[in-house]
Amino acid sequence: MSRLVLTNVNLLDGDSPPVSNRTIVIDGDRIVSVGSHPQGIEEADRVVDLAGRTVMPGMATCHYHSTYPSGMHEGVAPYGYEYPPGYQALIAHRNLLTALEQGYTIVVGAGAACDVDPAIRQAIDDGFVQGPRFTPSGRELSTTGHANDLLLPWYWRLPTLGAARNCDGPEAFTLAVREEAKIGVEVIKLFVTRGHLVPGGNEVMEMTRDELAAAIDAAHSRQILIRGHITGKRAIMLAIELGIDIVDHCDEMDDEVIAALAETGTSVVPSVHYPKVVAEFTEARDPDAAAEMRRGLQFMFDALPKAEAAGVRLLLGDDYGGLRLRHGDYGDELHTYVDDVGISPLAVIKWATRHGAEVISRNDDLGTVAAGKIADLLVIDGDPSLDIGLLADKNPVAVLKGGEVVSGALPG
């Protein structure tokens, strides 16, 4: 098979500012060299002059609900029971394919219904369907009476929700984690607190210390990741201490929390885009509630540049498919981080690439453009480090997964 040689590249390697006039040589699924000029090009090589277009690593979206129905069937059924499981699998696969086409070659789950995620991951691995490199999630684990558990009338007496499972006591969490791991879930999602659009205050812990420790230990003993919806400082600090891998939302991320995150290397998905959208929507109906949401958001907007400066591993991802955020609008959060929060496009690109590969421990293979790495690459018209909107426009020139063009086309 001929090698692919990309010349006249503006390189955004996922780590550093752009460098123009690079040549990238790809052999099979791997990058074999990244250099200043074409060297050792062989007659059989396919040479593509990118005429100054940008090549960067594929991006990662790391808080993904594959089965969220994007407003379809809204309010008709409880979470995870909107459609039969087979239908939900079709929805999830369509969403994952959309993510790949928009340049997200890594997707990390944050909760999904009915065993759907592991099955799709298997189908992608088998080559039966196309899809991103996908870390499957499963049912979200909550305690009895948590907000997820109150979504449907108690007198229906359903044993569990379609996308949530109730656990009480450390043993129940251990069993639930092991059962999810057995079906192929690779990232467990816990509901540790309310807050961040889940009704209730940030400060109330809805899991005990022993439950949290048992869940984290069970996940790590099966060598899978564990993450938590955690908004209040006390719960965030406890989860960091007990070794959680990903804090979702992290609404009370003050200086002490930032220091603990930086020291331990714990990842954070701030996911501030969804509450921003909900606050805008709430404005007309309930200005007081909107103002309260804006105060919380402003705290995070002020904290994020400090966390970035401290070296916290911040990640992209949000509740796409939730009530007011549609799957496919993944680029919108890029604008939020750059335009509202004031993070530089280059830093957001690092969150989207290098950090995404690190959180799934694939940084030896993915996340940057360098010799020896797998060729999961985006070709973009223009330079996204100057204009993040170029990444948000949903249409990369080409998306390569393992050296193969899986969306768009290389020029010429």
Residues that bind Zn ion (CB under 5 A): 110, 319
Q: Which is nearer to Zn ion, 198 or 260 (CB)?
A: 198
Beta strand spans in 69-145 (E): 104-109, 133-135, 140-142
Residue 396 contacts residue 104 (beta carbons within 8 Å): no
Which has the closest alpha carbon to 369: 55, 51, 37, 4? Answer: 55
Q: Which is nearer to Zn ion, 82 or 319 (CB)?
A: 319
Instruction: Show the CA angle centred on residue 330, arms to residues 327 and 331, nearest 5°.
Output: 150
Residue 18 Cβ vs Zn ion, minimum distance, rounded to whole Å: 33
Residue 310 Cβ vs Zn ion, minimum distance, rounded to whole Å: 25
Q: Which is nearer to Zn ion, 110 or 213 (CB)?
A: 110
Q: Which is nearer to Zn ion, 121 or 227 (CB)?
A: 227
Instruction: Show the CA angle centred on residue 220, arms to residues 228 and 133, nearest 5°.
Output: 75
Phi and psi at residue 378, in whole multiples of 5°?
Answer: -115, 140
311 CB contacts (<8 Å, ≥6 apart)?
A: 262
Q: Which is nearer to Zn ion, 101 or 319 (CB)?
A: 319
For Zn ion, which residue has the nearest CB? 319
Q: Which is nearer to Zn ion, 252 or 319 (CB)?
A: 319
Residue 171 Cβ vs Zn ion, minimum distance, rounded to whole Å: 26
Residue 36 contacts residue 49 (beta carbons within 8 Å): no
Q: Is 58 exposed, middle or buried (0-12, 13-18, 19+ CB in 10 A)?
A: buried
Residue 131 contacts residue 98 (beta carbons within 8 Å): no
Residue 111 Cβ vs Zn ion, minimum distance, rounded to whole Å: 6
Structural Rg of the chain based on CA atoms: 21
Q: Which is nearer to Zn ion, 110 or 359 (CB)?
A: 110
144 vs 273: CA distance, rounded Å: 29
Residue 317 Cβ vs Zn ion, minimum distance, rounded to whole Å: 8
Residue 297 Cβ vs Zn ion, minimum distance, rounded to whole Å: 17
Residue 53 contacts residue 381 (beta carbons within 8 Å): yes
Q: Which is nearer to Zn ion, 62 or 399 (CB)?
A: 62
Distances (CA, A) of 103 to 65, 353, 405: 17, 11, 11
Residue 63 Cβ vs Zn ion, minimum distance, rounded to whole Å: 6
For 341-402, the DSSP string reads: S---HHHHHHIIIIIHHHHTT-TTTSSS--TTSB--EEEESS-TTT-THHHHTS--SEEEET
Whether the CA torsion 142, 144, 146, 149 is positive or negative: it is: positive
Residue 110 Cβ vs Zn ion, minimum distance, rounded to whole Å: 5
